[in-house]
Structure 1
Amino acid sequence: MSCWLHALQFTPRSSSPPGIARASRPRPERAPLGPLAERARWALPGAVACVVVRSAGRFAVPGADGEVLSVNRGSDIVLIVPEPETGGLIERVRAAARGRVTVVGPAVPVHEAWLSLQCARLALDRRAERPTAPGAEPGDGAFLHVDDELAELHLLRSAPSGSCSAGGCWACSPICPGEGPRGSPRPWTRC
């Protein structure tokens, strides 16, 4: 389980009151993307977006063999797309994923790739909960950008969300296990 995809572990927060420094407590590392990229001989970019392609089977992005890192997760494929804001790779992924349910996580610094993946997975779960639109088949493909749903995911699912501005994308503090409002077992975000 050294793959970073299995490292969606969350750091429990202490019960210290707000404003109390917690610098003395070391923060556990999330498994970095570096070792996976090194094994694949893939150059680490400054920013990435994780793309989950549902029930992908044999899936490839034509002409992107060395550019996009991919990991099979059951019947889904997770693509790690470098520099998603530039280069047109997301549009190539969109073309290759036509007819499949696909979710693009937010663009984040490479050390926060887990956050992009978590947001994409939560958006897939949220989509599965919604009723199918009239005239659409449940298996019809869709290409969704999590950026369009960050506020809704955060409010409805207590998901970590980011705030994208003209200067770039930053993420709220990681979610952690524990009790949410009124004793609910749902993870709680401290922003």
Structure 2
Amino acid sequence: MPAHAPPQRHAPTVLPDRAPAATAIADIVRAGLPVLVDELIEEMRAHVPKADALFRLDAGSQARRGIEEMVRRFVDRVAAGAPVLDDDAERYGSFIRDAFLNGCDLNTLLALSQIGARVAWRHFAAAGNRAGFTPDEVSVLAERTFACMELVSAQAVDLFERLYEDAAATLGENRKRLLGALLSELGFSPRPVADLAREARWRLPGSVACVAVDDVFTAGGRLSPALDADVLTDLERPDPCLLVPAPDAAGRYEMLRRGLNGVAYAIGPVVPLEEAALSLRLARRGLALMLRGVLPGAEGHVRCDEHLPSLTMLGDEECLRILVRRALAAFSDCPPERRTRLSETLLTWLDSGSALREVAARLNIHPQTARYRMRQLEDRFGERLHDPDWRFEMQIALRFRALGRPEPALAGAEQPPEPARTAR
């Protein structure tokens, strides 16, 4: 847990001088303390719905003991006219921690404090009236009651904020551990992941997508609050990333666009939870290719689901370069412009199912020009133009070239012998 600044010390408030009636009235209130506590708990449950869970079953008896201790010390302070001391906050701490663990927020805590002051003052006033004290004597306790409650509230806020910071830090660490387990290259282990998810208060989804974030956005960066609370993040990894549950849910991609505005990122494919590491690997590949200008990223991000063939083809660029060098060796004697025209024509012809009219239309050239180019290609490749294996390999090589990747040196390359295959 992170180190915290020492709790704020509140300067003692100057309370009214002790009134002779204060001790007597406090004695009367102490004698009816169980009634006061019952009334206080009843009003808390009636007016603050979030507090209701504090007083149920076993948790209820513990919360009641915390309330009794708080009220007893509060009455002592009011009767003595003394300021609330720092050690009181520690004694109040058990109730405040119970409230925090049961989901009460700071507004709820302050609402409970106001109810406590109101009920306490009501009992002080009633006790003073029954004992025959004058309104002026009783009013001294009113001032003391609300002055003490102001200090109690301030100390409670200090403690609550420390608890919140500690819990947020612990929850953040638990979520990082969960993310690390989900992205482990050692494989997905359902039981440890389920245990970590409970500690991280994270519901296991059916599908996820990982988001690879540009390395320049390191631990010094701060994520936008636009990101949903169930998005797991770790910017301190060597490969900073996010994990988005149910990424196809409405608004998820827009959330990422807002939350990562100005940051380069790639959204990995949507996969089952157990394949989260695969989604991250592809997201990292997609991000690298986008930053190199291979994949389009006009808005600073890329969705890998839309580029799976390219990601597959570029998974091993060294192997691909060998394939390209072999497949395009027949163009080694062509000037660059002619090689470009013939390559575009061949790829279009392969993609269009060998339909020359469609080739001409796609390339916006005259059909006679298309036929002329195809005759040149037939001179170079012969019957291989009709071999399925050759066509598949050539399409890969030409598509790699179409991505704008630099071609391997072809000049002087030795054209491989025509494979002995059955012509069609």
Bin for the TM-score computed over the shorter chain = 0.5 to 0.7
Q: Relative to structure 1, is the Cα distance of residues 77 and 35 closer, same or farther in structure 2, using a 3 angstrom cutoff?
A: farther
Instruction: Tell me the percent identity.
Output: 33
Distance 2:260 2:250 in 1: 18
Give structure 2 stretches of 5+ with no counterpart.
Answer: 1-176, 321-424
Q: Relative to structure 1, is the Cα distance of residues 126 and 5 closer, same or farther in structure 2, using a 3 angstrom cutoff?
A: farther
Q: Relative to structure 1, is the Cα distance of residues 90 and 155 closer, same or farther in structure 2, using a 3 angstrom cutoff?
A: same
How far apart are residue 71 of structure 1 and its match? 1.6
Distance 1:121 1:35 in 2: 28
What corresponds to 1:105 in structure 2? Answer: 268
Which residue of the other structure, out of 167, 181, 184, is the alignment partner of 1:7? 184
When you count strand as a share of all residues, which structure comes out higher?
1
Is the 1:47–1:110 contact (alpha carbons within 8 Å) kept by the matching residues of 2? yes
Q: Residues 22-41 of structure 1: matches in 2 within 5 Å?
A: 29-31=187-189, 33-34=193-194, 36-41=196-201
What corresponds to 1:48 in structure 2? Answer: 208
- State yes or no: 1:152 paired with 2:310: yes
What corresponds to 1:77 in structure 2? Answer: 240
What corresponds to 1:67 in structure 2? Answer: 230
Report the residue type matching 1:156 in the other structure. Answer: L
SS at match of 1:67: coil
Report the residue type matching 2:302 in the other structure. Answer: L
Distance 1:48 1:100 in 2: 21
How far apart are residue 158 of structure 1 and its match? 4.5
TM-score w.r.t. the length of structure 1 is 0.58
Is the 2:234–2:240 contact (alpha carbons within 8 Å) kept by the matching residues of 1? yes
- 1:120-174 deviation per Cα after TM superposition (whole angstroms, max 9, x unaligned): 01112222333799xxxxxx96121011211101012149xxxxxxxxxxxxxxx
- 1:54-99 deviation per Cα after TM superposition (whole angstroms, max 9, x unaligned): 1324232425453211122447531111111113122111112111
TM-score w.r.t. the length of structure 2 is 0.28
Larger radius of gyration: 2
Q: Relative to structure 1, is the Cα distance of residues 108 and 6 closer, same or farther in structure 2, using a 3 angstrom cutoff?
A: closer
SS at match of 1:144: strand
Is the 1:51–1:105 contact (alpha carbons within 8 Å) kept by the matching residues of 2? yes
- 1:1-49 deviation per Cα after TM superposition (whole angstroms, max 9, x unaligned): 992366225xxxxxxxxxxxxxxxxxxx435654553442211111111
Distance 1:35 1:72 in 2: 23
What corresponds to 1:187 in structure 2? Answer: none
Distance 1:82 1:99 in 2: 23
What corresponds to 2:286 in structure 1? Answer: 123
SS at match of 2:240: strand
Q: Which has the higher contact order (CA 8 A, sep 6+)?
A: 1
What CA RMSD, in Å, does the superposition of the two structures yield over aligned residues?
A: 3.4
Q: Number of residue pairs matched?
A: 137
SS at match of 2:201: coil
Is the 1:53–1:102 contact (alpha carbons within 8 Å) kept by the matching residues of 2? yes
Report the residue type matching 1:144 in the other structure. Answer: V
Is the 1:37–1:43 contact (alpha carbons within 8 Å) kept by the matching residues of 2? yes
SS at match of 2:281: helix
When you count helix as a share of all residues, which structure comes out higher?
2
SS at match of 1:51: strand
Q: Relative to structure 1, is the Cα distance of residues 156 and 65 closer, same or farther in structure 2, using a 3 angstrom cutoff?
A: closer
SS at match of 1:106: coil
Distance 1:46 1:124 in 2: 25
- 1:97-133 deviation per Cα after TM superposition (whole angstroms, max 9, x unaligned): 1111011011111111111111101112222333799
Report the residue type matching 2:307 in the other structure. Answer: E
Distance 1:43 1:92 in 2: 19
SS at match of 1:147: helix
Q: Relative to structure 1, is the Cα distance of residues 35 and 153 closer, same or farther in structure 2, using a 3 angstrom cutoff?
A: farther
